[in-house]
Chains A and B, each alone.
Chain A
Amino acid sequence: MIKLVGAALVLFAGTMLGFLQAARFAERPKQIRHLLHALQRLETEIGYGQTPLPEALARMAGVLPETLAVLFRRIADELRSSSGETVKNAWERILSEGWPTTAMKAGEKEAMLRLGSSLGGSGRDDQLKHVRLAVLQLQAEETSAREDQMKYERLSRSLGVLGAALVVILMM
């Protein structure tokens, strides 16, 4: 009886693990897409509105889902505070801290960090170039993320169930 309950638990856990992994694969291109939209927003804020960066970041956070929005809101708050931290440092620190909570990987992070190191530090045309460069990099990452999703989403789901089944069989 206990054995049966244990087997059921293992099966359940394995399945959940697989689903979780699959959800990460599905979430990554979605989050990159959101980020792309947000960067487009940033582009208009810089190019057309000439909005100061803290305000622009706060507005950018407005078009993002909560998991990502919180990062940019934190950067905006940091820049508005009197700590005197530079954009580069605040951006790097907060994004690095918060990155594990997102589904995104190192490639996207690198593109964003590179953007942060030049944000706010030059004229409008130059800023727009940097934002567009980041957009291009993110688009490349998005394509590869979609490929990964196609390949691994169902695979990891089945792998979870089957792996759990294997453990159960071995246990029996």
Chain B
Amino acid sequence: MLPAWLAIFPPSLRTPLNKLPVSVIESLEEVRIREARPLEISYGGRFAFLTPDGSLTDEHEAGFRPNREDCRAFLEKLTDHSLYAVEEELRRGYVTVAGGHRVGLAGRTVLDGGHVRHLRDVAAFNVRIARARIGSAASVLPELLDPIARTIRHTLLVSPPQQGKTTLLRDLARAISAGEWNHPSARGWRGRKVGIVDERSEIAACERGVPTFDLGPRTDVLDACPKAEGMMMLVRSMSPEVVAVDEIGRPEDAEALREALHAGVRVLATAHASDLADVFERPVLSSLAREGMFGAYVLLSRSGSEVRHRVIGSREAEEEGLRRRRGSWNGVPRDAPRSELRSTPGDRDPGADRPEGTPGLAIKARALPLIRSPASREGGEAP
């Protein structure tokens, strides 16, 4: 049984990929195609080059090199033969194909008044395979609960790229919507209405408006909608109780998040950052974090195919984030008043409602993704 995403490759690229061992296919994370350069795959935290007959090697000279025709056919297939319909995506440098797989593109940009107007001569592709990991939220969700409001706290999922943020967000949305709180005191709670703003069509992978991933019974998805606008649209029209968005970071996102907060909606968001100090360093995130927007932070790190997480309450997060970078904040006087938003329910001490048995706030060094070469020519041992 071949995975559906293989169908997006033209036959010349599909043939070598088709011959990959099942264990590699199952743990595949990225397929990187560069015109006239060797075809690379990364799987289970390591990378390798692919030879024309489909075996793996770490010698790049032996790799299969896709030519211009292959790349053109691939781009056509990715855009469903319609570049005109994905102009906006090309401007941002990625397209999302059926199944929620995001394909990053690189080529030559065409500028218009200093802004990128579109991308031409696309010569490099990065196919990121999206997977639903049903149940991955089960260990995280109990730590995010807000027992008084019977819902979750405002939560920010933080990790460097490729650590499973979107996958976790997807499963959290599903669990919240299905009412799988996985906590003894939440036994009587029912599912919550979840609204997802899926700007990149990655979370839900909608086809004609219908999510192809399981997102639970009470979830509405606003597909391909800008986050800031989408959050407000959802709040106005769909009365969600929890709003989930991916990768916040622009100033308008912060505005919309504040609006949502005051509309009585719980927010579940992700952001690229390597640790809490980074969160407090990025302008938009730090202003949100210092206002006490988020009631909980989840830090993800991954080794191999195992994703680890750490949940931190807002006050500890603030302390930790500020402590580490205090010296580098030249623009902010040390005694500057921090904006006070203490009355928000999300800002309570999370230690009280953390279920027993979960690990405390042990500081763990950030694990970088492990990069190894395959142990043998035959595709390495199963990860």
Contact = CB atoms under 8 A, between A and B. Distances in A.
B81 interface: yes
Nearest to A76: B81
Given A82-B7, A84-B10, A123-B87, A54 B80 contact: yes
B303 to A, nearest CB: 36
B72 interface: yes
B81 A120 contact: yes
B84 interface: yes
Contacts of A143: none
Contacts of A122: 83-84
A87 B76 contact: yes
B236 to A, nearest CB: 25
B73 A53 contact: no
Nearest to B88: A50
Interface residues of A, number: 22
B185 interface: no
Contact of B83 (A54, A83, A85, A120): A120
Contacts of B80: 52-54, 79
Contacts of B11: 83-84
Contacts of B76: 86-87, 120-121
Interface of A is mostly: loop
B69 to A, nearest CB: 9
B82 to A, nearest CB: 4
B227 to A, nearest CB: 21
Contact of B118 (A54, A87, A123): A123
Interface string A29-55: 000000000000000001000111110
B73 A124 contact: no
A127 interface: yes
Contacts of A46: 84
A50 B84 contact: yes
B85 A121 contact: no
A126 B9 CA distance: 26
A79 B81 contact: yes
B260 to A, nearest CB: 29
B128 interface: no
29 contacts: A50-B85, A52-B81, A52-B82, A52-B85, A53-B85, A54-B80, A82-B7, A83-B11, A84-B9, A84-B11, A84-B12, A84-B73, A84-B77, A85-B73, A86-B72, A86-B76, A87-B76, A87-B81, A120-B76, A120-B82, A120-B83, A120-B84, A121-B83, A122-B83, A123-B83, A123-B87, A124-B84, A124-B87, A127-B84
Interface of B: 7, 9-12, 14, 72-73, 76-77, 79-85, 87, 118
